[in-house]
Amino acid sequence: MSDKVALGVYEKAGKTASRSPLVALLLSVCPGLGQQYAGHLVRGITLYIVLIIVSWLAAIAFTYVDSRISIVFLAVPFVGMAAIAVDAWRRASKQPEEYQLKWFNRPVIYIAVFLFLLVTVNPLMDMLVGGNVVRAFPVTSSSMAPTVLKNDLLVINKLTEPGRGDVVLLDYRGDNASSRFSDVIDIDLFKRIINSLFGTDEMPYKDGQLVRRIVAVSGDTVEIRDGNVAVNGEKLDEPYRYSHDLDETIGDETPFGEDFGPETVPEDSFFVLGDNRNFSIDSRILGSISTQKVAGKVTKVFWSWNFGENTIHWERTAMPVK
């Protein structure tokens, strides 16, 4: 039998053809297609759905395990794909030499089934789990350094209620974010400051999404003097804070200033600051943030890539954000 027939190019329901385990294995690059090729359509669809569900459960488990050992959960999707491929090989090898082709043993049906699952199961799980339980967020600025670095991929837990000291994702999308920030800060001035400090015009937010630390909650009184933050009259111990000496760089031309408040945080609101204190659009500029703008608590670094050195920050990968 030619390779084309083995690959199913000329397959047609009612005819007979052997099932090649190697072809079933290769088709398993798209999980479940190998089973379909081997004559087990329902099994292939079921395994695909199970893989997606188990992969999301592994992502949730990764979020809640506060240890580097949690990295094993990242291997679950790959282990699952390997197991499905082995199953496809075995199913194909058990079929008789004169296997009677089914209606679904056609290349166009293989593609149609896979695309159907891709545009139904995947988006549904992303909407249910990614929208309500856990999601990933890529960092595009240095406003939370050194706690969160530019190019980190963070894990956002949407089930945990954030509180004082937690790092959170703020979501201004759909709120005309660029105009919102422009209303409260001179963007041109801010870019000059950034360029002076870092030699770049990058802005410390991505499409209206900000990663910041909650330093005060509803009812707290916040005051900043000489760069030191006090909540309810008590100075905060901030080992995570990093500040540049703006006076030496740009003099008095700064939107931040050394002093703020005192100001009481309104009901259902948070007061947030960036750890990279002089490179952060936060509550000193935006005011207190409504809890409705909090899209989740940042719990872990999923992946950390150093573009400058073209290397992975292994010491940060799978570690909790505190």
What does 196-240 look like in DSSP terms, one character per residue? Answer: HHHS----S-BTTEEEEEEEEETT-EEEEETTEEEETTEE---TT
Are 162 and 297 spatial neighbours (Cβ–Cβ below 8 Å)? Answer: yes
Are 51 and 77 spatial neighbours (Cβ–Cβ below 8 Å)? Answer: yes
Task: Indicate the range of 64-73, 101-110, 169-178 predicted with least confidence.
Answer: 169-178
Q: Say how far apart CA 160 and CA 254 lie, in whole Å.
A: 36
Token pair recorded at residue 48: 């695909």
* H helices present in 95-168, as ranges: 107-125
> Would you state the pLDDT for residue 308?
63
Residue 57 scores a pLDDT above 50: yes
Look at 88 and 250; give whichever has higher pLDDT.
Answer: 88
pLDDT, one tens digit per residue, over 131-178 is 778 888 888 878 888 898 888 888 899 888 899 999 999 887 765 554
- Which residues make Cβ contacts (< 8 Å) with residue 166, sequence separation at least 6? 213, 214, 297, 298
Look at 231 and 197; give whichever has higher pLDDT.
Answer: 231
> Would you state the pLDDT for residue 309?
65
Task: Indicate the range of 37-51, 94-108, 217-231, 301-315 predicted with least confidence.
Answer: 301-315
Cis previous bond, 262, omega within 30: yes
Q: Say how far apart CA 293 and CA 291 lie, in whole Å.
A: 5
- In this structure, whether the domain defined by 134-312 belongs to CATH 2.10.109.10 is answered with yes
> Would you state the pLDDT for residue 248?
45
Residue 198 scores a pLDDT above 60: no
Q: Cα–Cα–Cα angle for 237, 242, 248, nearest 5°?
A: 125
Are 164 and 171 spatial neighbours (Cβ–Cβ below 8 Å)? Answer: no
Residue 32 scores a pLDDT above 60: yes
Highest mean pLDDT: which range of 122-131, 178-187, 194-203, 225-234:
225-234
Element spanning 94, H or E = helix 76-94
In which band, very low, low, confident or very high, does the pLDDT at 244 lie, cut at 50, 70 and 90?
Answer: low
Among all chains, which residue has been given the structure tokens 């027939």? 5
> Would you state the pLDDT for residue 252?
46
When the pLDDT of each residue in the chain is averaged and rounded to a whole number, the result is 81
Q: Say how far apart CA 190 and CA 250 lie, in whole Å.
A: 11
Are 10 and 62 spatial neighbours (Cβ–Cβ below 8 Å)? Answer: no
> Would you state the pLDDT for residue 205?
55
Among all chains, which residue has been given the structure tokens 């890539």? 305
Sequence ranges of the domains in the chain: 3-130, 134-312
Strand partners, 169: 211, 296
